[in-house]
């Protein structure tokens, strides 16, 4: 063992120095100034949410990479490789499914979106299917965004808590009774809200571009020091990794319960990523900020270069495995890692990296986190303004509202900023709940991707109902979207409380269906009633009995095999699309409502 490592491995106190603090503070200051200078003035909703549609493709591409990578990838992916049995099979998802999905989005969805002056995919759905469809897709996006991003806040809070739990957050916890994790989560939330308020989407994209360079450099520096810490350097890392089969890439297993296989990547992850890149406002909003469809296509296709960051971070996992083979953890560090395996990389950063480099890598972690959080806050605010505030404002003011009026534009931007703050509070609360859900996942990376899968299938189904020549309106999506989400929930959870939630949802849906649809037209809705009853029956059957029973646990209770998270989107999309078509009404009945929405 090298000198100093024995004492370093016994604890974490004092491992973050004044030099590290200066680097993190400097990074925050520089990023804030650069983002503010490049953002320009936000005088209208178009400026605040679309950056005036004048942002260059390379900035948008960097922003997409920064948002997609996030702190979850930066912190949790090394553990995916480091853990027993860990390898490079995760990379199949990015090199196959994600790249195929980018091509589909670039050449199919982008041209469809740029034919109109819209702010989100849900505006496109609304113009095609009616205001009800726009509202339901907006709610689905908000649900999926909060679930997925709460895990990203949580994993960043893990790092910040490790850094400050024995100093600032420990003192605040003693004074207030709130845990250090709570202070960590809300500190991250305040920074993300502040950056988003500073200049809207333009600031988000330009700061993301700076943040991308920051965490790319952090990943390379961390990898370089891991290699430097090994007596045999790169050769030792490669040899140790090969001996443990860490570089295994292909997995052709047909088992649907395994997330990182070739077939899952090609089929399920392609499906999943088309929804994420093309219909999830978190990433799709960036494409709307480009000068035209060609620039937007170039941005989404070039963002595939983000896989280089993923490879670098996975190599860090191999290096950590090689390092801790000869420098085993002990003391407080060992206890923390046993509680949550995702802490292995933060522990290495705090214990082994020298002063200065520790601050740079921690700053990179915050860069990865904030780049995702300011994005989701801007996206949530924009979709709520478009789907709910502006229609309400028009109804209240009748024909007196002029969108070009400077006073009205300032009012809309002010409401948008208020919504950013509200969604920031909601996101921080959800992040505190994510700690509970994390206990049921092997890694926080799986948690974040699983959460994103609940609503992404229904969002993609909404786009397909609008894009394909199916000649139905969006009323069916109002029913099929929520049923899709609960069907995915039933696939993932089989505990008694989950079954109770599914039963409560089914009863509520049937009651609303009887009160709204059957009451209006009994004979005309008999077929649709049969379809919705069948869908709810399938959901309840899956919830109660599972679709693939496993062996009983030690107490004799039944267990269930759960399909891997990339399959959640195809399952949800199929349910929402088929049921949305069956429950939909002929489109011409609601042509007037769609025409009204277009005029808005």
Output the domain CATH number for residue 266: 1.20.1730.10
| Backbone dihedral angles phi then psi of residue 280, each to the nearest 5 degrees | -90, 120
Burial of 538 (0-12, 13-18, 19+ CB in 10 A): middle
42 against 177, higher pLDDT: 177
Dist. CA 552–CA 541, nearest whole Å: 19
pTM for this prediction: 0.81
The label of the residue with tokens 């930066």 reads: 74
Does residue 7 register a pLDDT over 60?
A: no
240 lies in a domain?
yes
Q: How sure is the predictor about 148, in pLDDT bands with cuts at 50, 70 and 90? A: confident
- Total tally of structural domains belonging to the chain: 1
Residue 40 confidence class, pLDDT cut points 50, 70, 90: low
Q: Which residues partner with 55 through β-bridges? A: 290
Q: What is the pLDDT of residue 547?
A: 57
Whether 429 is in a domain gets the answer: yes
Calculate mean pLDDT across residues 128-150.
88
Q: How confident is the model at residue 596 (pLDDT cuts 50, 70, 90)?
A: very low
Q: For the chain, give the mean pLDDT.
A: 81
Q: Over the stretch 483-513, which tens digit does the pLDDT of each residue have?
A: 999 999 999 888 888 899 999 999 999 999 9
Residues 6+ apart with CB under 8 A from 396: none
DSSP per position, 334-366: HHHHHH-GGGHHHHHHHHHSPTTHHHHHHHHHH
178-228, pLDDT tens digit by residue? 888 888 888 888 888 887 776 556 666 777 777 777 767 777 887 888 888
List pLDDT tens digits, range 427-454. Answer: 988 888 887 777 666 667 777 778 888 9
> Is pLDDT above 80 for 558?
no
Q: Does residue 27 belong to any structural domain of this protein?
A: yes
57-85 pLDDT tens trace: 888 888 888 778 777 777 888 999 999 89
> Where is average pLDDT lowest: 90-94, 133-137, 589-593?
589-593
Is 532 part of a structural domain of the chain? Answer: no
Helix, strand, coil shares, percent, the chain, to 5: 80, 0, 20
Q: How confident is the model at residue 480 (pLDDT cuts 50, 70, 90)?
A: very high
Q: Tell me the pLDDT band of 466, cut-offs 50, 70 and 90.
A: very high
Q: Is the pLDDT of residue 349 over 80?
A: yes
Task: Report the percent of the chain where pLDDT is more than 90.
Answer: 29
d(CA 203, CA 374): 9
Task: Report residue 410's pLDDT band, with 50, 70 and 90 as the boundaries.
Answer: confident
Q: Is the pLDDT of residue 341 over 90?
A: no
Q: Is the pLDDT of residue 517 over 90?
A: no
**Residue 356 pLDDT:** 81
The pLDDT score that the predictor gives to residue 600 is 44
Could you tell me if residue 309 is inside a domain?
yes
Q: How confident is the model at residue 43 (pLDDT cuts 50, 70, 90)?
A: very low
Residues 404 and 45: beta-carbon distance below 8 Å: no
Task: State the burial class of residue 445 (Cβ atoms within 10 Å of its Cβ: 0-12, 13-18, 19+).
Answer: buried
In this prediction, what percent of the chain has a pLDDT beyond 70? 83
Asked if residue 582 is part of any domain, the answer here is no
Residue 493 domain-assigned (yes or no): no
Q: What is the pLDDT of residue 376?
A: 81
What average pLDDT does range 254-277 have in this prediction? 92
Residue 385 domain-assigned (yes or no): yes
For the segment 358-367, what is each residue's pLDDT rounded down to a tens digit? 887 777 777 6
- Residue 347 and residue 4 in contact, taking contact as beta carbons nearer than 8 Å: no
pLDDT at 539: 94
Which alpha helices (H) appear in 354-495, and where do they start and end? 357-384, 390-397, 406-437, 444-467, 475-492
Other Cβ atoms within 10 Å of 470 Cβ, number: 16
Separation in Å, CA 97 to CA 104, 458, 493: 11, 19, 26
pLDDT category at 595 given cuts 50, 70, 90 is very low
pLDDT band at 593 (very low <50, low <70, confident <90, very high): very low
The residue-averaged pLDDT of 523-540 equals: 90
Domain limits at 67? 5-442
């Amino acid at each position: 063992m090298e000198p100093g490592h024995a004492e370093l491995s016994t604890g974490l106190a004092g491992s973050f120095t004044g030099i590290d603090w200066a680097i993190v503070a400097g990074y925050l200051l520089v990023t804030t100034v650069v983002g503010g200078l490049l953002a320009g003035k936000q005088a209208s909703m178009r400026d605040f949410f679309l950056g005036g549609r004048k942002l260059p493709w390379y900035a948008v591409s960097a922003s997409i990479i920064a948002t997609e990578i996030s702190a979850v990838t930066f912190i949790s992916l090394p553990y995916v490789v480091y853990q027993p049995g860990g390898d490079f099979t995760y990379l199949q998802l990015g090199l196959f499914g994600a790249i195929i999905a980018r091509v589909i989005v670039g050449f199919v969805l982008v041209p469809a979106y740029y034919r109109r002056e819209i702010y989100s995919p849900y505006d496109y759905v609304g113009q095609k299917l009616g205001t009800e469809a726009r509202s339901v897709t907006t709610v689905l996006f908000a649900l999926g965004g909060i679930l997925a991003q709460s895990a990203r806040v949580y994993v960043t809070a893990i790092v910040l808590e490790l850094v400050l739990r024995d100093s600032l957050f420990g003192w605040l916890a003693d004074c207030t009774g709130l845990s250090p994790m709570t202070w960590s989560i809300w500190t991250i939330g305040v920074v993300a809200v502040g950056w988003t308020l500073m200049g809207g989407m333009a600031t988000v994209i330009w700061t993301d571009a700076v943040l991308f360079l920051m965490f790319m450099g952090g990943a390379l520096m961390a990898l370089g020091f891991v290699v430097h810490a090994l007596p045999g350097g790169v050769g030792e890392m490669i040899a140790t990794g090969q001996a443990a089969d860490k570089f295994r890439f292909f997995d052709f297993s047909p088992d649907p319960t395994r997330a990182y296989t070739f077939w899952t990547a090609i089929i399920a992850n392609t499906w999943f990523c088309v929804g994420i890149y093309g219909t999830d406002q978190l990433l799709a909003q960036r494409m709307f900020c480009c000068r035209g469809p060609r620039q937007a296509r170039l941005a989404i296709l070039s963002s595939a270069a983000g896989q280089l960051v993923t490879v670098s971070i996975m190599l860090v996992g191999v290096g950590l495995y090689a390092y801790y083979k000869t420098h085993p953890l002990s003391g407080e560090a060992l206890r923390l890692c046993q509680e949550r395996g995702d802490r292995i990389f933060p522990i290495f950063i705090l214990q082994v990296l020298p002063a200065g480099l520790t601050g740079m890598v921690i700053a990179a972690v915050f860069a990865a986190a904030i780049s995702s959080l300011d994005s989701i806050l801007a996206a949530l605010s924009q979709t709520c303004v478009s789907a709910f505030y502006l229609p309400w404002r028009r109804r209240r003011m009748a024909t007196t509202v002029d969108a070009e009026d400077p006073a009205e534009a300032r009012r809309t931007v002010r409401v948008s900023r208020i919504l950013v703050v509200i969604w920031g509070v909601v996101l921080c609360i959800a992040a505190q709940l994510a700690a509970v859900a994390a206990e049921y996942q092997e890694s926080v990376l799986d948690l974040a991707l699983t959460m994103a899968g609940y609503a992404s299938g229904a969002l993609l189904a909404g786009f397909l109902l609008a894009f394909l020549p199916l000649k139905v309106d969006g009323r069916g999506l109002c029913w099929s979207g929520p049923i899709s989400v609960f069907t995915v929930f039933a696939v993932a959870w089989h505990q008694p409380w989950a079954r109770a939630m599914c039963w409560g949802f089914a009863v509520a849906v049937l009651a609303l269906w009887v009160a709204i649809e059957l009451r209006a037209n009994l004979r005309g809705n008999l077929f649709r009633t049969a379809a919705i009853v069948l869908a709810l029956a399938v959901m309840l059957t899956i919830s109660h009995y599972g679709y693939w029973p496993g062996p009983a646990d030690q107490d004799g209770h039944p267990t269930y095999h759960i399909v891997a998270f990339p399959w959640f989107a195809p399952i949800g999309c199929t349910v929402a699309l088929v049921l949305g078509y069956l429950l939909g009404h002929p489109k011409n009945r609601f042509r007037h409502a769609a025409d009204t929405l277009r005029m808005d």
